[in-house]
Amino acid sequence: MNLNLQGQTAVVTGGSRGIGYAVCEALADEGCNIAILYASNTEKAEAAAAAFAEKGVKAKAYLCHVENEEDAANTVKAVKEEFGRIDILVNNAGITRDKLVNGMKEADFCDVIDVNLKGAFHMIKNIYPLMAKQRAGRIINVSSISGLMGNAGQVNYSASKAGLIGMTKSVAKELAPRGITCNAIAPGFVSTDMTEKFAEDESVLSAIPLRRMGKPEEVGALAAYLCSPGAAFITGEVIRIDGGMAM
Ligand code: NAP
C-alpha cells in the first residue's frame, strides 16, 4: 500500500503491545516516524521501537502515564523536541478492571475512566496546538463496541469508551476549521493480551458473525487508512471493526 505518510510523525499511546503495536507497524510501513508511549514494560517498548527503526523510520519509546496531566505535557514536549513535529495522534492506551456493578469499587471505575478517557483528553489538549499551527493533523481514538452496545461487567470500561465517542465528535467539530480530523475506531474482540482469556470461548466466537477474533494488524490497516490523504474528508466518524458483532 502507498498511503503517502513519509516523513510524518505519529504519537501512539500504548504502542508497545497489541493493537497499538500493530498501528505503529502499519504507520511505520508507510514511512511514518513513531513515538511510542507506554506505562510499565520498558523492555517491550524499546524492542518495539527497535523493530520499527529497522523499517528505516525514526522510532522512540517514552514512558508516559497518559492519565497524569504533567506526564502527558512533558512527554509531548519531549517528542516535539526530538521529532520536530507531530502529525498523527492515536489514543490507543486502555485498561480494563471488569466487575459486575455491585462489586465494582470506586477505584476500579476511576482508574479505567482516568486512563481510557482522561488520558485521551490530555494527549489531545497537548498535541492539537502543534497540529493547528501546521493546519493539518489526524487524531484517532480507539474506542470499543462496548461503548456502543454496553457489556455486562464493564460499566467502567463501556462508559469510558462511550465517552471517547462523544469526545471524538466534539473534537472533530472544534478542530475541523484548523484542518484536523478526529475519528474513532470501535473494535470488537481482537486477539491481544487483553482478550487472551476469550480466545477459545465458544460463546464469544458464536456472537461474531465472521466466527473469529480480529487480528491487531486489521485494526492497524484501518488506522493507517484514516491517516492517509484518501481519508481527508472523514471526520467525527465511528468505524466498527468487529466481524459484524455490533451491527
Ligand atoms: P493491551 O494489549 O493490553 O496493551 C495495552 C497498551 O497500553 C500497552 O502498550 C500498555 O503499556 C499501554 N498502557 C496501559 N496503561 C497505560 C497508561 N496508563 N498510559 C500509557 N500507556 C498505557 O491492549 P489492546 O488489547 O491492544 O487494546 C488497545 C486498545 O484497544 C485499548 O484502548 C482497548 O480498550 C481497545 N480495544 C481492545 C479490544 C481487544 O479486543 N483487544 C477491543 C476493543 C477495544 P505497558 O505494556 O507498558 O503497560
CA 17 to ligand 1: nearest atom: 9
CA 96 to ligand 1: nearest atom: 34
CA 44 to centroid of ligand 1, rounded, Å: 13
Closest-CA residue to 142 (of 121, 179, 116, 166): 116
CA atoms within 13 A on the CB side of 160: 28
pLDDT for the residue 197? 86
Output the nine-digit C-alpha cell for 242.
468487529
Q: Digits of tens for pLDDT over the chain (247 positions)?
A: 688 899 999 999 999 999 999 999 999 999 999 999 999 999 999 999 999 999 999 999 999 999 999 999 999 999 999 999 999 999 999 999 999 999 999 999 999 999 999 999 999 999 999 999 999 999 999 999 999 999 999 999 999 999 999 999 999 999 999 999 999 999 999 999 989 888 888 999 999 999 999 999 999 999 999 999 999 999 999 999 999 999 9
CB 72 less than 6 A from any atom of ligand 1 = no
Give the residue whose CA is nearest to atom 32 of ligand 1.
94
* pTM (two decimals): 0.98
CA 193 to ligand 1: nearest atom: 2
CB 160 less than 6 A from any atom of ligand 1 = no
Alpha-carbon distance 219 to 119, whole Å?
A: 20
9-239 topology per CATH? Rossmann fold (3.40.50)
Phi, psi for 63 (deg, rounded to 5):
-75, 120
CB 187 less than 6 A from any atom of ligand 1 = yes
Q: Residue ranges of the domains in the chain?
A: 9-239
CB 153 within 8 A of CB 211: no
Output the nine-digit C-alpha cell for 73.
505535557
Give the residue whose CA is nearest to atom 12 of ligand 1.
14
Q: Which H or E run contains 174?
A: helix 155-175
Closest-CA residue to 80 (of 28, 37, 127, 16): 127
CA 95 to centroid of ligand 1, rounded, Å: 6
CB 46 within 8 A of CB 70: no
CB 12 less than 6 A from any atom of ligand 1 = no
Q: Which of 13, 19, 96 for mutating ligand 1's site (highest number of atoms within 8 Å of CB)?
A: 19
Q: Which of 12, 92, 117 for mutating ligand 1's site (highest number of atoms within 8 Å of CB)?
A: 92
pLDDT for the residue 198? 85
* Residue type present at position 231: A
By annotation, the residues acting in catalysis are 157
The C-alpha angle 46, 20, 47, rounded to 5 degrees, equals 15
Alpha carbon 126 to its chain centroid, in Å, reads 16
CB 214 less than 6 A from any atom of ligand 1 = no
CA 36 to ligand 1: nearest atom: 9
* Residue type present at position 69: E
CA 216 to ligand 1: nearest atom: 26
Q: Which of 11, 12, 17, 64 for mutating ligand 1's site (highest number of atoms within 8 Å of CB)?
A: 17
